[in-house]
Amino acid sequence: MNQSSNIFKNWVPKWLIKVTIFIVILPAVSMLAAYIGGVSSAASFYGLDPTDIQFSIVLYYVGIASFFPLERRFFSYFASKTYFLMCVLLFTAINLLLYSTQNALLFLVLRYLGGVVTVGLIGVTINLIFSQFHSNRSRVLGYAVFYGTLLISNAFIYLFDAYIFQNYDFNVLYLAIIYVQIPGVLLLLLCLKTNLRLHQKRLPLLDLDWKSFVIYSTLLTLIAYVIMYGQYYNWFESIRIWVCVGSIILLLGIFILVQKNRKRPFIDLTIYKFRNFRIGALLLILYYISKGDLSAANTFLFNEMGLDSYHYAYIMLFNAIGIVVGITITARFLLRKRNMRLIWLTGFAFLLLYHIQMFFVFGSQANENSVVLPLFFQGLGNGILMLSIVFFTISSVPESKSFSASLSGVSFRFFAFTVSLALISFVNLKQVSVHYNELGNTITTLNSESGKRLQLYENLALAKGASTIKAKVVAKKLMGKAVANHTNILFARDYYYYMGVFIFFIMLGIALIPHLHFRFRKIGAEVIPI
């Protein structure tokens, strides 16, 4: 039965309910990577390395993943309207503090706390989303709406960042997030009924498992630190990486022991006994690593194709369209109980097509239209895979354990997201160095070609009024910049090539492993009769 009549006032139309929920949740999920379009701006503002800024994005994810189990107790204790308002006020306070400080340590702490508070906002909005659909369809359609919003938020973030970073100081971003949040909050409070409770049973705030929360949160933070900074400190050549890895092993052992001995565990570890859950978790990690990252191609898009931040943001809207189409079709297939492996193969096929097309985009004839179709295919693949894998993973365990499965799914997404960031940085560092050395050797040996290019740059500088000496200096700088740009393009081609191969083997595994598993069992039964 549709629950909207018990939650929203009678005069509120259904279209307004959906629009309100969307504009409420968008600022919250956008803060996960609010400066994804301005990492360099954030780094210069706080005096940090780009890696530190990426780590702050991951810390926001740690806050979400670690506080998720405790949030349910807070959600069930307070009246829903009161709880939502508390979360909004805390979210606003954190953004005001972020606006007011340039302290790097405080910035990282506030980013983590922002993730913690965001869990509350997400908890309320997910329940509101689920209330819009019939109980038999609420799981599929609820996840479709939520994850669709989560994925398409990137397109809005790029557009948002482009406007903020070109017209204001970096920290104005936090004020803008607050302003964007106000209309949705006011609309929702106006539409909801008084003394609303989205939960049936009120649970007391006693016996909260703070011990497991602290251990789990520390564990995720250390894992993120090792993945993000391992390359920076040359991995196990650094004592701090050794200490972090040792601490991870120790904390993991303690966490498992604590969960096994608790009557109500923080995470029910028995979910790992279910084969389909393990398959779903593995696919979730593989998907996040291979989902397609445009950051590898950004140098080419901005420098060679001449895209500015606004045009970059606008072409990302085609990615959002692909996500909406992919999630809509997948939700339909899931409700009709279509073959899940075919859905996965279709999703990965679109991601493979995206990587192949991007590989061939890099060239002198590339323009804005060259990346529109690849971006649409990437969005299509992401929409198909995100919804289908998440739904499969959560549905693979009994309903009583679905919360632990959902929580573990968030942790897997955090882990894979962190690995994907570190992987791009690692491949970038390695391949750019290789190509730069190769190009450097080519330039020194092919004197005629490099001499012509240097002479061209020198003539351009002389034509603009530079002296002979200054023109030679400018020519060398321009040559160095050209080499750097070209090495970045070669790195991007390498990245899309290797990811394409990786996705091909994932598809091969999805297609063949179930048949091989069945065949091995059949052979085993014939050789060793039972």
- Band of the pLDDT at 503, cuts 50, 70, 90? very high
Q: How confident is the model at residue 524 (pLDDT cuts 50, 70, 90)?
A: very low
- State yes or no: pLDDT of 508 exceeds 70: yes
pLDDT of residue 430: 64
> How would you label 56-69 residue by residue, b for 16+ Cβ within 10 Å and e otherwise?
bbbbbbbbbbbbbb
Per-residue pLDDT, 333: 86
Task: Answer yes or no: is pLDDT of 266 > 90.
Answer: no
Tell me the β-bridge partners of 192.
8
Distance of CA 120 to the CA centre of its chain: 19
Percentage with pLDDT > 70 across the chain? 75
Rg of the chain on CA atoms, in Å: 25
Of the candidate ranges 138-152, 318-332, 515-529, the one whose mean pLDDT is the lowest: 515-529
Average pLDDT of the chain, as a whole number = 78
CB-based contacts of 286, cutoff 8 Å, min separation 6:
416, 506
How far is the C-alpha of 415 from the C-alpha of 319, rounded, in Å?
24
pLDDT at 475: 65
pLDDT per position as a tens digit, 448-497 = 555 666 666 666 666 666 666 666 666 666 666 666 666 777 777 888 88
Highest mean pLDDT among 130-134, 333-337, 458-462: 333-337
CB atoms within 10 A of CB 138: 16
Nearest alpha carbon to residue 171 among 234, 104, 100: 100
Model confidence band, residue 24 (pLDDT cutoffs 50, 70, 90): confident
The region that residue 293 occupies, defined by phi over 0 for left and psi between -120 and 50 for alpha, beta otherwise, is beta
Please check whether residue 36 is in contact with residue 158, taking contact to mean a CB–CB distance below 8 angstroms.
yes
Q: Percent of the chain beyond pLDDT 90? A: 10
Distance, in Å, from the CA atom of 292 to the CA atom of 302, rounded to the nearest integer, reads 18
d(C-alpha 60, C-alpha 224), whole Å = 11
Task: Please give the helix or strand (H or E) that residue 46 lies within, else none.
Answer: helix 39-46
User: Is there a contact between 423 and 54 (Cβ–Cβ < 8 Å)?
Assistant: no
The pLDDT value given to residue 445: 45
The band of 320, judged by pLDDT with boundaries at 50, 70 and 90, is confident
pLDDT at 18 over 50: yes
Residue pair 321/376 in contact (Cβ under 8 Å)? The answer is yes
Contacts by 306-312, CB closer than 8 A, 24 or more apart: 307/368, 308/162, 309/37, 309/158, 309/161, 309/162, 309/165, 309/166, 310/159, 310/162, 310/163, 310/166, 311/368, 312/37, 312/158, 312/162
d(CA 95, CA 491): 36
What's at 430, amino acid-wise?
K
Give Cα separations from 512 to 201, 503, 517 (angstroms).
Answer: 46, 14, 9
Question: Is 528 a residue whose pLDDT tops 50?
Answer: no
* 441's tokens: 């050797």
Q: How far is CA 474 from the centre of its chain?
A: 40
For range 212-228, the mean pLDDT? 89
Residue 1 is predicted with a pLDDT of: 43
Q: Is the pLDDT score of 435 beyond 60?
A: no
pLDDT at 17: 82
| Cβ within 8 Å of residue 334, ≥6 positions away | 140, 343, 387, 388, 391
Q: How far apart are the first and last CA of the chain?
A: 49
Q: Which two tokens stand for residue 385?
A: 């895979």
Mean pLDDT is lowest, of 68-72, 281-285, 424-428, 476-480, for 476-480
- With 90 as the cut, is the pLDDT of residue 365 above it? no
The neighbour count for residue 143, using CB atoms within 10 Å, is 23
Q: Of the given ranges (7-11, 142-146, 266-270, 319-323), which has the lowest mean pLDDT? A: 142-146
Q: Return d(Cα 408, Cα 412) in angstroms, integer.
A: 6
Q: Is 8 helix (H, G, I), strand (E, B) or coil?
A: strand
- The two tokens of residue 513 are 């492993």
pTM: 0.82
Q: Does pLDDT of 519 surpass 60?
A: no
- For 56, 119, 178, 190, 294, the CA distances from 31, given in Å and listed in that order, are 11, 12, 11, 24, 19
- Output the DSSP codes for 485-516: HHHHHHHHHHHHHHHHHHHHHHHHHHHHHHHH
Q: What is the pLDDT of residue 530?
A: 41
| 299 vs 118, residue with greater confidence | 118
Domains and CATH numbers, the chain: 1-209 (1.20.1250.20)
- Residue 356 near residue 299, CB atoms below 8 Å: no
pLDDT score at 479: 63
More confident residue, 308 or 220: 220
> Would you say residue 249 has pLDDT above 90?
yes
Structure tokens at 267: 């995470």
DSSP readout, 98-130?
HHH---HHHHHHHHHHHHHHHHHHHHHHHHHHH
- Mean pLDDT of the region 412-424: 80
Angle, in degrees to the nearest 10, between helices 468-527 and 447-463: 130
242 falls in which pLDDT band (50, 70, 90)?
A: very high
SS3 call for 192: strand
Compare 263 and 517 and report the one with higher pLDDT.
263
- In the predicted model, is pLDDT for residue 324 greater than 50? yes
Q: Which helix (H) or strand (E) holds 94?
A: helix 80-100
Residue 204 DSSP label:
P
Q: Is the pLDDT of residue 525 over 60?
A: no
Residue 134: per-residue pLDDT = 59
Task: Average the pLDDT over 57-83 and give the result.
Answer: 82
Q: How far apart are CA 84 and CA 209, in angstroms?
A: 22
pLDDT of residue 202 exceeding 70, the answer is no
Q: Kindly state the average pLDDT of the residues 156-184.
A: 80
- Predicted local confidence at residue 353, as pLDDT: 92
Segment among 25-29, 210-214, 284-288, 376-380 with least mean pLDDT:
25-29
